[in-house]
């Protein structure tokens, strides 16, 4: 057996490829929704009010109205974005997600205020979007932690199995040779 240390396998590009493709697709959807010339809920106020009325009759607190729903929708819209930005970045730079998310949101709000007559920039939207992106980033941390833990267990098991087979093989050779 050689005394050379095995080389580390080259990194897989699967995570990077998929995360960048999904990030571009999802960011495009976010940009389409946020840069649409008119508010995306236009024409839906009656349906939204009906939905909230039903939800209130079924236990949703009465203080939860349209503004809270919109704030929550902004949070929810940015959760996947924070997750995907973090996935697309290398581990050593993943912290940049904490800066990229609010910068992206500020950029959107600035463009809405400057270019779209029927839309308006809202600092509250920046807060909600940032919260959502950071929640997505935190979820990425949980997922990466779970994957790392699983991988460490699989590697430890593979090493243990390899060593057990090696010991069994050596024992078998000794027994065939009549050495105890």
* Position 2 pLDDT exceeds 70: no
User: What is the tens place of the pLDDT at every residue in 46-55?
Assistant: 898 899 999 9
**Mean pLDDT score of the chain:** 89
If you average pLDDT over residues 48-72, what whole number do you get?
92
Confidence check: pLDDT of 1 > 70 = no
**DSSP letter, residue 150:** H
**Using one digit for the tens of pLDDT, what is the confidence trace for 102-112?**
999 999 999 99
pTM: 0.77
Greater confidence, 134 or 6? 134
Indicate the range of 3-12, 120-129, 167-176 predicted with least confidence. 3-12
Q: Strand locations in the chain, DSSP E?
A: none
Q: Counting beta carbons within 10 angstroms of the beta carbon of residue 96, is it exposed (0 to 12), middle (13 to 18) or buried (19 or more)?
A: middle
Asked if residue 63 has pLDDT above 70, the reply is yes
- String of b and e for 8-31 (b: at least 16 CB within 10 Å)? eeeeeeeeeeebeeebeebeeebe
Q: What is the pLDDT of residue 180?
A: 58
């Amino acid at each position: 057996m050689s005394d050379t240390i095995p080389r580390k396998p080259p990194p897989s590009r699967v995570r990077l490829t998929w995360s960048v493709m999904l990030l571009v697709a999802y960011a495009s959807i976010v940009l389409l929704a946020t840069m649409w010339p008119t508010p995306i809920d236009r024409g839906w106020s009656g349906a939204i009010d009906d939905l909230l009325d039903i939800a209130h009759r079924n236990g949703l607190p009465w203080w939860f109205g349209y503004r809270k729903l919109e704030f929550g929708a902004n949070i929810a819209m940015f959760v996947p974005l924070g997750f995907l930005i973090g996935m697309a970045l290398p581990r050593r730079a993943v912290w940049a997600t904490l800066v990229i998310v609010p910068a992206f949101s500020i950029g959107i709000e600035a463009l809405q205020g400057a270019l779209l007559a029927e839309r308006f920039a809202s600092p509250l939207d920046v807060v909600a979007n940032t919260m959502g992106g950071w929640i997505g980033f935190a979820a990425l941390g949980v997922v990466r932690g779970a994957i790392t833990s699983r991988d460490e267990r699989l590697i430890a098991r593979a090493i243990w199995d390899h060593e057990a087979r090696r010991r069994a093989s050596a024992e078998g050779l000794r027994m065939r040779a009549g050495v105890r």
